[in-house]
Amino acid sequence: MDCYSPDPDAVVELANAYRNEPNYESYVALSSAIEAPRQKLFKRMNMATQGTEVIVSLRKDFLRLVKNHPELKPIDFDLLHLLKSWFNRGFLTIAEIDWNTPAVILEKLIEYEAVHFMSGWNDLKKRLGPNRRCYAFFHASLPNEPLIFVEVALVNGLAGSIEPLIDPDPQSEKGDADVDTAIFYSISNCQAGLAGISFGNFLIKQVVMELKKEFPELTQFSTLSPIPSFRRWLSQELDNKESTFLTQSNRSTLSLLSETDWSTSQEHCELLQPVLTKLCAHYIVNAKKANKPYDPVTRFHLGNGARVERLNWMGDKSTKGLSQSAGLLVNYFYAIDEVEKNHEAFVNQGTIAYSKDISKFLLAN
């Protein structure tokens, strides 16, 4: 493997030469020495028929292996470096997916849906029906493989429950008339080999522009998002006797979550709702991992400039929703004129933008 790695002695020698004489020639020589020979191999592979597809698949395998073989990290680093260059936004195209899209692509949506499971064609047809839109990014080297796709519901006002969005009542769907809000309710990355390359932020911004062109009357853009790590974090806090988030009183109330039928018991829900909603607000705003929000979906949307708008009790009653977030869903709101300001504040100062509704939970005793 060493023959495919940079020559350490050459790198040191040329680095010293560049330090002593930082001119064009020494810079080029150092850059050439730092580039691992395996990168040249990957570039040649990429020129072959279906070469890009093979390399994306190869990185998928590396990501699985590198967990137990840290010596492979330099190879994965080189693969990611190349893939970031090949899959930058300038090489991607956006496409709207509808019922007339080739079946080979429609099948991939069912396969890759990562947020709200689709059991088959009937579920997909509902998500591509009236007042629904779906957009995906594609790359010329993978023409039938979506890289990421987002599902959108056109509704009136903020949506608080996922069920009407993924399983709408046909009688309530009236085409594209009388809508003022676009709800992004599912974003799915499709290619495991492209992990670490950000597509979602570009896709959301592009879709907002596409929707504004088609529906000038749209005034609100928001998500209805899962909170995938809330229950995991809550379990850690329950195990932590010195938790600053929990009191003895709400520890007692939270013990009801161990009951298998808690979500169908009105009495249990009435006791749990105020406790869980308040804790979830604190979790989203205050729980941190490496100085960033603990929740991955929170990190993503805040990094894109959204604000935390509203928590929705029993927004997702599915088995997955109950196990991940006790049924809670959250709206992240994209106020077009505030997105850049929120993004800069979050990235530079770690400031989290949130609404008055969320602040009430944070201030509650």
Q: Could you tell me if 69 and 191 lie in one domain?
A: no
According to DSSP, residue 327 is labeled T
Last residue of a domain, one of 38, 71, 88: 88
The pLDDT, as a whole number, for residue 303 is 94
Render 202-227 in DSSP notation, one character per residue: HHHHHHHHHHHHH-TT--EEEE-B--
Tens of pLDDT, residue by residue over 129-165, are: 999 999 999 999 999 999 999 999 999 999 999 999 9
* Judgement on whether residues 71 and 114 belong to the same structural domain of the protein: no
pLDDT value of position 364: 65
CATH code for the domain of 34: 1.20.140.90
Same-domain pairing of 260 and 168: no
Q: Is 32 annotated in the active site?
A: no
Q: What pLDDT, on the 0 to 100 scale, is given for residue 170? A: 72
Indicate if 302 and 200 belong to the same structural domain.
no
Position 201 scores a pLDDT of 87
Q: Beta strand pairing status for 132-139 and 148-155?
A: antiparallel
Residues 20 and 52 in one domain: yes
Mention every residue, 6+ apart, whose C-beta is less than 8 A from residue 199: 87, 92, 137, 147, 148, 189
**pLDDT in 10s for each residue of the chain, 365 residues:** 578 899 999 999 999 999 999 999 999 999 999 999 999 999 999 999 999 999 999 999 999 999 999 999 999 999 999 999 999 999 999 999 999 999 999 999 999 999 999 999 999 999 999 999 999 999 999 999 999 999 999 999 999 999 999 998 776 665 556 899 999 999 999 999 999 999 998 999 999 999 999 999 999 999 999 999 999 999 999 999 999 899 898 999 999 999 999 999 999 999 999 999 999 999 999 999 999 999 999 999 999 999 999 999 999 999 999 999 999 999 999 999 999 999 999 999 999 999 999 999 998 65
Number of domains in the chain: 3
H-helix or E-strand spanning residue 43: helix 37-46
Picking from 358, 215, 347, the residue whose alpha carbon sits closest to that of residue 286 is 358
Domain of residue 273, CATH code:
3.40.630.150
Do 151 and 187 reside in the same domain of the chain?
Answer: yes
pLDDT of residue 197: 94
Q: Could you identify the residue written with the tokens 């049924």? A: 327
Which CATH number characterizes residue 145's domain? 3.40.630.180
Q: Do 70 and 109 belong to one domain?
A: no
Q: State how far the Cα of 228 lies from the Cα of 174, in Å rounded to an integer.
A: 32
Whether residue 239 sits in one domain with residue 301: yes
Specify whether 219 is located in the same domain as 97: yes
Which of 195, 223, 251 is the last residue in one of the domains? 223
User: pTM for the full model?
Assistant: 0.91
- Among the listed residues 186, 188, 222, 301, the single catalytic one is 301
Domain extent for 195: 90-223
In a shared domain, residues 176 and 137: yes
> Which of 222, 225, 229, 325 is flagged as catalytic?
225
Q: Are residues 74 and 135 both part of a single domain?
A: no
**Domain-terminating residue out of 63, 88, 113:** 88
**In a shared domain, residues 52 and 147:** no
Whether 225 is catalytic: yes
